[in-house]
Chain A
Amino acid sequence: MNRVLGDWRAITILLGPALLVYTLVMLVPIFWSLGYTVFEGNPILGFTFVGFDNFAQLFTDPKVGDALWFTIRYAVVLTLLQVLFGYGLALIYVFWLRKASGVIRTLAFFPVVLPTVAVALLFQELFKIAPVQGLVNDILNVFGIASVDWFASSATAFWVMIFMDLWRSMGFYAVLLYAGLVDIPDDIFESARLDGASGFRLVWHIVIPLSLPVLLSSIIFSINGTLKVFDSILALTGGGPGNTTTPLTLYMFQTSFTYGEYGFGSTIALLLTVLCLVVTIFIFQSNRRDLTKD
């Protein structure tokens, strides 16, 4: 094996095709898109070099600010909720359901495999008010509460969106965190219990510190996924009402492809990339100690 891995020709033959494909479909478009940030135009009218005008526009276009604020709000709230609920489910699997958790894990994981657009259409039906009202409003009526037009206000639309994505994704985080929890040796728990730790104290002092690496990975997965949310919002609200539920990704898409402003769209994409990078670095920096080495 060492001979193969030390042979330049073998490396070329084994990695070359994959590297070429990766370069073509990943690296070239990234750098191409980066190049567009200093141009303005579209394929019909051609492109003109505008220097840093697109970057200046980032600070003057109020829709960028709105989209950035929505993206951050959505990412923070959903990350907190999906990791929290995922972790809660994982704890239930390990400490309460134990070996009988298979069916519950499958049920909780089931929404993860459903197509996003199908889930969004399902939630539209559940929460709709006209022309025929959905199940949620029917239930509210049973309790004497008036029907709510959930998608008419940005506040209610936001929480429907959060609820939908939480339902859709918490099973994934539950399984991810469950894998981290089952790796903790049983004798540690037994020792802790002998020392008098139980319930919340056991979770706080033993379970959380020992599952911190996988918890950290979950947060990074989640924050990056939620910062780049696109399809579920497009299918559920289309970014409305108005542009009050438009994240950066959707605004970038509209700018580039609906308005034909490829340069500014690429600049918004760059802003999103930098945002993801900064958040990831921040999370890593805030927890530099490698707990797996202790």
Chain B
Amino acid sequence: MTTARTKASRLAFFGAAIGVTTLALTSCAGGGEAAAPTEFSYLSFAENTSIQDTLTTLSEDSCAAENDALPLKVSTQPQASYDQQLQLLAGQNALPSLFASGNSPQVAKDLQTGDKLVDIAAELDDLDAADDILPAARSTIEALYGGEVFVLPTELNVEGIWYNKAIFAELGIEEPTTWDELTDAAATLNEAGVIPFSADGQDGWPLTRLVGNYLYRSLGPDALQKVADGDAELTDPEYVEAAAAVAELGAAGYFGPSVGSIDYMTAVNQFLTGQAGMFYMGSWILANFNDEAQNQIGADNIGFMPFPEIEGGAGSSDQLAANVGVPLAMSQESFNDETAAWLGCIAENFGSESLGSQGVITGFATNTPVEGLPPLTEMIQEKIAATEQSVLWFEALFDAKAATTSQSNASQLVTGAISPEEFMGLVQADLK
């Protein structure tokens, strides 16, 4: 064999290797036309079992016909890596028929911008099922997603401060209606050796919820929309004041020792074992409160108050913070008559099924009345019904970067490791 032929052979070999590699990579990249779905695939947060349980029950009962046409298949992904999975699937045009829309509203907004999502509002109009989404849930979704409805509200939660009635009565504390009354109540609890506020500082968001609520009460319901629109900055003095107020609670020791080490379930247990007087949390916590094994203080002993008003503030305590839990989106790619039938069935039946079997209040109408609900659940239903205007939470309109910065620095804010100015500055720096 001549040298020239040897070189040619080598070149041919490397050419073939590169060709095989390219083919392999091309086949991995996907992106082709999707075939009609053979199943109604649902991708869920692994940590959330209530939605998948409700859907499974529907598939066996109210939605059995839809399930026969397109069987439900549930798969899960841990919440921590969920957004990565969505990005991967979206990049391959392989999104499931129905899926939890991601860790922050921004993920669903990106999917919508990429024309990947079904226009839920339009499809429900076509199915004559628009009334199956409650007006309060619809307005919350519209506030979250820039006026559009492309997700389903599997929960409808209001947030506020739960308190231990027995401890309040024992110490002669009236339900606070203003921030000053709230801090006075906290001082009384603290002096009596009770942790004033149980809070999950490890995850941070229960602390930043306080900052958000303070802003809504002091500056009004559009306080954070102004920041999102670029009309205000978190470093403006009136915004820093909210962070400073929450930092003062921490400086006074009102979150108990080592709040940064407390995780979600520990915070829940602190309140349900009577160690803490108050607990800021959403109404999804009712599942824990209504569980006698967990609730050692008794459901009758738990009161709920809205976040109090700030004297001279533009907001009102009638404006409860609200969210729609884990919103579900549908893939445009696999949407056809059969998945549309599933959408109609979910809209019609999810609310009653979820409330009846899971005790979860959803943003769907309860078309089949549910009897025998626990009193706390009924009380929250009444609060939701009476709420005419809701507000969002601190990070609702932030992108993932700013939301992470906010939550990961919250415990530093209340332990005094960083100043309120630094905290707001860090979050503002990450806002695009």
**A interface residues with partner B (beta carbon < 8 Å):** 8, 12, 16, 19-20, 23-24, 28, 42-46, 62, 128-131, 149, 151-153, 238-243, 254, 257-261
Contacts and interface: CB of A to CB of B under 8 A. Distances in A.
B83 interface: yes
A260 B258 contact: no
A44 B91 contact: yes
Nearest to A61: B429
Contacts of A19: 17
Interface in B111-138: 111, 113-114, 116
Nearest to B258: A130
B87 A24 contact: no
A242 B400 contact: no
19 contacts: A8-B9, A8-B10, A16-B13, A16-B17, A23-B17, A44-B87, A44-B110, A44-B113, A45-B113, A129-B257, A130-B262, A131-B262, A131-B269, A149-B257, A151-B261, A152-B411, A152-B417, A241-B412, A260-B400
B261 A243 contact: no
Interface in B25-41: 25
A209 B40 CA distance: 69
Given A20-B21, A153-B417, A259 B401 contact: yes
A4 to B, nearest CB: 17
Interface of B: 6, 9-10, 13, 17, 20-21, 24-25, 81, 83-84, 86-88, 90-92, 107, 110-111, 113-114, 116, 256-258, 260-262, 266, 269-270, 399-401, 404-405, 408-409, 411-412, 415, 417-418, 426, 429
A46 B405 CA distance: 25
B6 A8 contact: yes
Contact of B399 (A23, A44, A259): A259
A129 B261 contact: yes
B114 A45 contact: yes
Contacts of B84: 257
Contacts of A43: 87-88, 90-92
A20 B17 contact: yes
Contact of A242 (B21, B83, B401, B417): B417
A152 B258 contact: yes
A240 B408 contact: yes
A164 to B, nearest CB: 17
Given A45-B110, A152-B415, A242 B266 contact: no
Given A42-B110, A129-B261, A28 B6 contact: no
Contacts of A20: 17, 20-21
Nearest to A255: B401
Contacts of A238: 408
A28 B29 CA distance: 14
A153 B416 CA distance: 10
A285 to B, nearest CB: 34
Contact of A259 (B91, B257, B400, B415): B400
A8 B24 CA distance: 25
B356 to A, nearest CB: 34
A261 B269 CA distance: 38
Nearest to A242: B409
Contacts of B426: 242
A254 B81 CA distance: 11
Contact of A23 (B6, B21, B261): B21
Contact of A46 (B10, B88, B114, B401): B114
A99 to B, nearest CB: 47
A259 to B, nearest CB: 4
Given A16-B17, A131-B261, 11 more contacts: A44-B91, A130-B261, A130-B262, A151-B261, A153-B417, A240-B260, A241-B417, A242-B408, A243-B409, A258-B83, A258-B404
Contacts of B107: 44
Nearest to A240: B408
Contacts of B88: 43
Given A43-B90, A254-B404, A260-B110, A130 B409 contact: no
A149 B258 contact: yes
User: Which of B83, B107, B116, B270 has the largest number of chain A CB atoms within 10 A?
Assistant: B83
Nearest to A153: B417
A260 B25 CA distance: 22
Contacts of B114: 44-46
Contacts of A243: 405, 408-409
Contacts of B408: 238-243
A149 B260 contact: yes
A239 B56 CA distance: 38
Nearest to A131: B266
B95 to A, nearest CB: 10
Nearest to B114: A44
